[in-house]
Amino acid sequence: MTILTTDAKKRLDVLVSEYAGVSRSHAQVLIENELVLVNGRPQPKNYRLREGDELEIEAMPVKELSAEAEDIPLDIVYEDDEIIVINKPSGMVVHPAVGNESGTLVNALLYHCKGSLSGINGVIRPGIVHRIDKDTSGLLVVAKTDEAHIFLSSLLKDHGIKRVYHAIVTGHLPSEKGTINAPIARHPIDRKKMAVVAGGREAITHYEVLRDYSSFCHARLQLETGRTHQIRVHLSHIGHPIIGDTVYGGGKTQFERAHAKYLSGQCLHAKELSFPHPRTKEIMHFEVDFPSEFSALLDILETL
């Protein structure tokens, strides 16, 4: 749709809410997931529309999503009145979305926290400050109060939350240590994927090779920015996709086929998480073990 004079200067989330007939928080979810484009590009929720702008809503659920409390076990690493740190298993979606309306981390948190979650992100993402992909395992912090959520979101924006991942990567990375600095945006053809795209949002990933194997390597990766699928896209972009990541070029080696029982998706684990506590400002550092499947693959690689 083309923005007319009557809608010029409106906030993007307000107009999407009006046009799509969804709540404003739901509109913000669509915007954050880059399913709303202005002149072919994503814009922040507070973007002020201009006459002549072309607005495109790429995916719009036919109903309002909600989240119900479900008694699902959680691996709780730390919890107090302000935050809860979770070790998420591979295979669990973080928050409800079309096609994944139950069984998510949010459903489990609603049951465990009995309503004590930040409401800033609306009914389908209460407390969620940052996410990790469904098939990525590991650490994430959830806000239990609005004050904690605001503090952690600000930290995230200013790169004040340290997030370290481990991955088993195909081939050998170009150097023992390095940085991938390549902008990321929605894939120009396959809109379900992300890609390195000129003019995309800044994306920076630091890597370190921990162990080289015959045709693979074990890498430690630290996010400086946090774009959707960032590590997966960056490693694929330089020709070294994560094993098991069939979306971004993995899953093609004989080793992956032979050991498919250990791979339910990309072999990527959020192992370390550090940030100042929202109330005390004490630096909190958390580290969790690899999932059994990840460890099994490393053990097998050691024998090759």
Q: Which residues belong to the active site?
A: 133
Q: Report the candidate in 82, 78, 75, 65 with the shortest Cα–Cα distance to residue 30.
A: 65
Q: Are 193 and 236 in contact (CB under 8 A)?
A: no
CA distance 70 to 208: 39
C-alpha distances (whole Å) from 17 to each of 20, 31, 199 are 5, 11, 27
* H helical segments located in 12-104: 12-20, 24-32
Q: Report the candidate in 187, 205, 246, 223 with the shortest Cα–Cα distance to residue 34.
A: 187
Question: Could you tell me how many residues make up the chain?
Answer: 304
In this structure, the strands spanning 184-186 and 216-223 are: unpaired
C-alpha distances (whole Å) from 108 to each of 32, 97, 103 are 23, 15, 7
228: which 2 tokens? 């959707």
Amino acid letter, residue 38? V
